Structures are given as structure tokens and as C-alpha cells.
Structure 1
Amino acid sequence: MSINICICGGGGLGHVIAGLAAHKGFNVSVLTRHPDQWNPSLLIEDCQGNTFSSSLACVTANPAEVIPHSDIVLLCLPGFAIEEELLHIQPFLQEKTCIGSVVSCTGFFFTAYRILGKTASLFGFQRAPFIARVQTYGRKALLLGYKKELQVATVNISKSDILLQTLQEMLDTPVRMLHHFLEASLTNSNPLLHPARLYSLFHTWSKGKTYHEIPGFYNSWDEESSELLIACDNEFQQILKALPVRIEPIPTLLEYYDSYDARSLTCKIRSIIAFKHIPAPMEKVEKGFLPDFKSRYFTEDFPFGILIIKSIAEILNIDTPNIDKILLWGQDVLNKEYIHEGELKGKDLPKTGYINADLFYKLLKN
């Protein structure tokens, strides 16, 4: 019997995973706000020169058409869109359905537990399965990079071995099971790396100031960025030590990048070919360039990234002066209030991935 998969979201990952899974013989539907812009068939071109053409079972904006008979629902969405999508599909979910997210560090497990309840069958990846880009919306996408191995965590899934086998087959990549959902939820990747770099690039910016050029986000990485990132990672590692997680699945950034200090980390990040042409998030204005505060580097990695790490640190009473410095700067340039009087109690917290102590300990005990 064919397994029914529903992909929620029409970004690069949504396109690529839908196309690849359909090519592998799964019955794939796509839930998107723009179904009229999709072809019934999808073309995927990968980094090895392979091309996959596959037919989709259904593309719709109506969850009632696809969610009730789905065995797996996979959210391919940014952190700020997850709550809305879960509320959108909740009335149509069946008890047998496994609900997952392509990344977990934006608060997926906590948001899903809060909305769907303690019996929901959840899974989430530690990092995104692929580097993916849309070439022609609804028609063709590019799979720009495979990963050697993927790591996934589950909550309330009794036959996790079957899910693991299914994910490996549909993504054509080995998948390893993590021991705890926090091992997927907490990462020192984008939630720390992006904000630390943004702070180093733009903390001297003030209203009215413009820049003459757009620097490379990675290929002009400097030691100031590395030093701040290492300091934030040291605080992050203190959080991990206070939690029931293994350190091995979440190595320090120096270990992950095979570096030993700020200078070697700078050289390593600058040398990564896949990062070479990624620009800093900026927008063109009459007199030059400004930081693009509408970029997902800002709209996701602050309220649904570093803020989540800060909220867990606060629950555990762990001081995070470097993370605080970045978050305070971020809320200032975004015109938001997350930290108020030294604590996470600002007026804009409800629109973030903030985790309170009650929710944290409920899910921890689940």
C-alpha cells in the first residue's frame, strides 16, 4: 500500500522534498496558498546532474482535501509560519498521522505540543535535509546539496523504526534517530551563527547610515564575528550541560567546523564553497545599501532562533551575556520588545517562539 505524504509549504525544501518523494513512489500531495501556480508534475535537478520528473497526487490550499488520509505531514515552513499552519490542519488530522518539521530549532516540538496536545505523534529534523532553491515556482527546483546523514527526533511515535525507514527512502539519505527531542530542538547553527554575524556586520548602524557595498555574509567573515560566535556557543554549551541530552549530536562550533580558535574558524567559514556567493541581507536605496530587516535572517533567527535559546537559559537560570547583547540589539533594530528590565517579558513575546517554564517542563516529562 502506498504511503500518503503531505508537504506543507511551497519553498525550496517543499518543492524538492515533494518531487523527490514522488519520484521514489510515494503518494505526495502539497498544501500551499498558491495551488494555481503549480504544475501537476514537478521537475527536480540535483547537484550531481540528475533530473527527476514526478507527478503529484494533489496540490491544494484546502487541508480537508489532503490531511485526513495523510500518513505523514511534513512542514517545510519558516518558524513564524508553523503555528498558523498547525491551526490550519488541526481539525483534519487523524490519530495515525505523524506530523513533522524539516527543522526543529525554530520551536516546532513546543508549538506542536501546545496546539495539538500531548498525544500528537511528532518528529523533527535537527537540520534541513537539503540545500534547495526554487528555479520556477510550482514547476522546477534545484537540489543544491545532499548531506551525508540526517538526524531526527520523535515524540509519541511508537514505531519510530518504520518512520525512520520511510524517511530514509523518501529523502534518499541515511537518517539516524536522536535520543531526545531537545537534541533536534537545540542547535548552535543558524539560531546563533546568523545573529552573531548580523551583530558584527551591523551593530554600528544607525538610522540614516548607508553602506557603499554588500559584503559577503560568509566570504568576508572576520575574527570579530568568530569571537562573538564562540562566546555565544560557550553559553549554549552551558545550557546543554543542564539538560538531559547527549553532547555528541550537538558538537561545539569549533568541533563542527574543525577549528581551534577564532582565527582558524574565520578561515574555515570563509573557505566553504557552498557559502561563497551568499550576500549579507541588504536592500538597495537611493544612496547605497541598508540592512534588510525584512530578511529571514532577522524575522526568523531572532524571534524563532536565538530567543528560544535565551528562553531555555532563563528557565535554567543560566547567564548569557553575549546572547543577551545580540538579542537586545536585534530587538532595537527590529523595533520589538523581547527583553524588558533584564528578563524575557517584553510586549512582543507572544509573536515569537518563546518557551515558558510550564510548557518546557510539560514536554520534558511527556
Structure 2
Amino acid sequence: MMAQLNVVICGGGRTGHLSAVLFKQLPGIRVSLLTNNREVIERHAHAGISALLPEGGTLSAHLDVVSSDPDEALADADVVIITVPAQARPALLHAIAGSLPKHKPVYVGAIPGFCGFDWLAEKALAARPNAVIWGMKDVPHTAYALQPGVSVAMGGAKSTLYVGTHERESGPARQALLAHLQRLYAAPVELLAHYLEITLTPGNPIMHPSVVYGLIGPYAQWHDKPFAEPLCWWTDCPELGAYFLERCDEESQLLCKAVEQRLGVDMSSVLPLKQEIVAAYQEQIRDPRTMLSVLRTNQAYDSIQAPMMKTVDGYVIDKENRAFHEDVAFGLAVLVEMGRRLDLKLSHIEEIFNWNVAYMGGLRSSALDYFPQTWPA
């Protein structure tokens, strides 16, 4: 009989809800949810949470702990999974650091692990040397239609899950982490050689800002114009958005090559974005020919709405959304700073970053707050 595994999920959003329900289907898994959402906490006192499956049907679960108290949620934690947006991670790590167990390894990771989470966690958990820092390249499933504390809908699943650890972690710690994650996830889990393979994997930090730029940037059809109705991120992606996305992806690949040359890190696992999406979703993509067709015909991306606000004149892109305060301030900022440190000109990435920062009203906080001063030394 396998020993009990105590899993703590930090964050009551879509990924947190779905992960909690799926983990509770497994034998010997104790699941705690740390959230500040009082509605979720109060509802869970007398009802479970359901996951709506893509093929129909539901899975339900009653979690072991749902609390806003880190001491209660993290008691005897083995695996801690952080699912809050990148801009909320610094405060969360500060809040939980003192509550982590001290007497055993505790595996603290982020899903997804982008935006330099390894650097942030190293700094925030300096007083917890028993913490094993890790991240997953992407979410295991897309999730949508969240009703907090009630239900969440499961979307497309990744065919393989890729995990990286902080470069300080030992071989035995990496293997122990892998064993825990293989127990939690149905899909195969593979360990990456270096965390930069996650940090530089193309994803939301170039996807959302590029599409926004293609929708309402200075060359866009809807520049300074409201929309008549809400849009979906990907099924309504304009050709111009796909164009800028491909230019940013090309520059991201140049950045990978510069990192390889400077640091001697094998970045061959970091594929161009279109290849990454096709490899992840496979038959769920009806037309894999071009970037535009991949975005528009990926069933896992169907019905994912862009962040819109209704005004008296129509709909506008919501500049308070995480597409800006996470993907620009904590995602794209990392790429811009890496390019600067490596003396590499990233013309499109810099242009799109600067425009998005101006649109969102400037940076409040960013990944530059914890980007290592000594990198790339």
C-alpha cells in the first residue's frame, strides 16, 4: 500500500479547482486547498466540487481542507502546487514560507512554471533549504467555466507533461519529485535538464500580448475603436495577431540560441510555438498548417473569451486582466531583460512589450523585482 501523499494547492482558480478534484479521485492522496476566496471556503463546508468532463459526465470530490490559513492548509505538506497568477506569487510565497514543514523535503512548484519562478522561489524560500523548487512547463489541462466552490469544466489535456527543477536540486530530489508527479497525473511526466527550458518555452507571455497588439495596436483594424461584441482569444484571432506572434516566436528562438551559446545549456527541447501547440494538442487541432489555423482550429482553445469590458460605446480589452499584469509584467519582461543582458536585439518583442506596458498604464511590479542581478554569469 502506498504511503499517503499530502498535496496542497495554492489558488482557487480554474487550474486549482480542476487539479483538486482530479487528485481526490486517486487512492492515498490528501488534498488541501489554500484560497482567500471566502465563497469557496464557505461552500465547501457543506458541499463538494465537481469537474465537468469534455466527453460528458462529472467527477466530484470533497477536499480534506479548504482554508485561507497557511498553517492549517500546509500542515505536513509533501507537494505544494502554486496555481495563482505570476503577479500574485511573490506575496503568496512570503505568506506560506513560514508554514512549510521543516522536518522533511517539501516539493514547492508552480503550474505553469514560467516567468522565472525558480528565481523567485529561491529568493522567497531562502530560509527553507528543505524546499525542492520545481515548475511544470504548462497546465496539464485547459479549464474554463469556473463557478468558484461549485464546478469547473475540463478542456483539452496535454499528451506529455514536462517538469523542471531549480538548478540547485540534487538527482535524488529530482527523482523523488518525478515519482510524486507520476502518481498524481495520468499523462507521462518527463524531467527537463534545465529550468530555462520552461522559462523560455513560448506560451502566454508572447501569445496574449501579440494578439492584443494585433487587435488594438497602432496597426490594427480596431485601434482606438470599441468592439461591437465580446471576442474569443483564439477562434477570433486576427491575421495581424498571428503575424506578430510568429515574429515574437522567431525572436524567442534567437534568444534560446543565445542562451545556449552563453551558458552551454541545451535548449533543443524548446520548440517553435506552432510545433509546441501541435505536439501538445495533436488530434485536437483540425488544421495544423499555419499559426493562424492552429490557433483558430484547436478544440482545446474553443470558446476561451478574451478579457473584455462593456462600455457605453461597446467592448474594450480589460487592461486589468492577467494578460497584462502576468503575461506582460512577469512574462514578456523576462524575455526583454534576457535580451538586454545578452546584447541581443529583440525588435518585435520589445515593441510589443513597450506598447502593452503603455496600454496597461505602466508596471506596478514585475519579474525584474527578482531577476538575478548576476545573470547570465
Shorter-chain TM-score category?
Answer: 0.7 to 0.9
Contact 1:87 1:115 in 2 (8 A): yes
* Distance (Å, rounded) in 2 between the aligned partners of 1:188 and 1:255: 10
Match of 1:44 in 2: 51
Q: Indicate which of 60, 66, 79 corresponds to 2:67.
A: 60
Contact 1:110-1:360 at 8 Å conserved across structures = no
Contact 2:144 2:153 in 1 (8 A): yes
Matched, 1:87 2:90: no
Paired residue for 2:211?
197
Superposed, 1:103-142 pairs within 5 Å as 103-117=112-126, 119=129, 120-133=131-144, 135-142=146-153
Question: Which runs of at least 4 in structure 1 moved beyond 6 Å after TM superposition?
Answer: 205-208
Counterpart residue type for residue 176 of structure 1: E
Aligned-pair distance for 1:52? 2.5
| Cα distance per residue 1:295-321 (max 9 Å; x no partner) | 222221110111111111112111111
- Structure 1 pair 136–210 and aligned structure 2 pair: CA distance change class (3 A): closer
Counterpart Cα distance in 2 of 1:294 and 1:283:
10
Cα displacement (A) at 1:258: 6.0
SS at 1:74 equivalent: strand
**SS of equivalent to 1:77:** coil
2:319 is the counterpart of 1:308: no
Does residue 1:228 correspond to 2:234, yes or no? no
Give the direction of change, closer, same or farther, for the CA distance of 1:93–1:179 in structure 2 (3 Å limit): same
Cα displacement string for residues 215-257 of structure 1 (whole angstroms, at most 9, x for unaligned residues)? 4432233332222222211211121112244333210124335
Q: CA RMSD in A?
A: 2.5
Instruction: Give unmatched runs, 5+ long, in structure 1.
Output: 338-347
Matched, 1:13 2:15: yes
| TM-score, normalised relative to structure 2 | 0.85
Kept in 2, the 8 Å contact 1:226–1:263? The answer is no
Distance 1:359 1:93 in 2: 28
CA deviations 1:249-279 (Å, max 9, x no partner) are 21012433569xx983222322222323233
- Deviation of 1:150 after TM superposition, in Å, equals 0.4
Q: Secondary structure at the match of 1:124?
A: strand
Q: Say whether 1:319 aligns with 2:345.
A: yes
Indicate which of 296, 300, 308 corresponds to 1:274.
300
From 245, 251, 267, give the equivalent of 2:271: 251
Taking the aligned partners of 1:123 and 1:115, their CA distance within structure 2 comes to 14
Distance change in 2, residues 1:213/1:49 (3 Å): closer
Q: Which moved more, 1:128-137 or 1:312-321?
A: 128-137
In the alignment, is residue 30 of structure 1 matched against residue 39 of structure 2? Answer: no
1:358 aligned onto 2:367: no
Classify 1:3/1:359 alpha carbon distance in 2 versus 1 (closer, same or farther; 3 Å): farther
Gap change, CA 1:102 and 1:257, over 3 Å in 2: closer
Contact 1:126 1:151 (8 Å CA) reproduced: yes
The question of whether the paired residues in 2 share the 8 Å contact of 1:17 and 1:171 is answered with: no
Q: Between Structure 1 and Structure 2, how many residues are aligned?
A: 348
Residue ranges of structure 2 left out of the alignment (5+ in a row):
280-287
Q: How does 1:176-215 map to 2 (within 5 A)?
A: 176-204=190-218, 209-215=225-231
Matches of 2:136 and 2:374, distance apart in 1: 21
Change (3 A) 1:134 1:97: farther
- Aligned: 1:147 with 2:158: yes
Which residue among 184, 190, 198 is the counterpart of 1:170? Answer: 184
Question: Percent identity of the aligned residues?
Answer: 27
State how far apart, in whole Å, the 2-side matches of 1:48 and 1:162 are. Answer: 33
Aligned match for 1:71, one of 74, 78, 95:
78
State the shift of 1:361 in Å: 4.6
Q: How high is the TM-score relative to the length of structure 1?
A: 0.87
When residues 181 and 139 of structure 1 are mapped into structure 2, their CA distance, relative to the original with a 3 A threshold, is same
| Separation in structure 2 between the aligned mates of residue 86 and residue 16 of structure 1, nearest angstrom | 22
Q: 1:182 to 1:136 in 2, by over 3 A?
A: same
Closer/same/farther in 2, CA of residues 91 and 234 from structure 1, 3 Å limit:
same
Contact in 1 for aligned 2:156/2:299 (Cα 8 Å): no
CA change 1:263–1:66 in 2 (3 A) is closer
Amino acid at match of 2:181: L
TM-fit CA distance, 1:113: 1.0
Shift of 1:360: 3.6
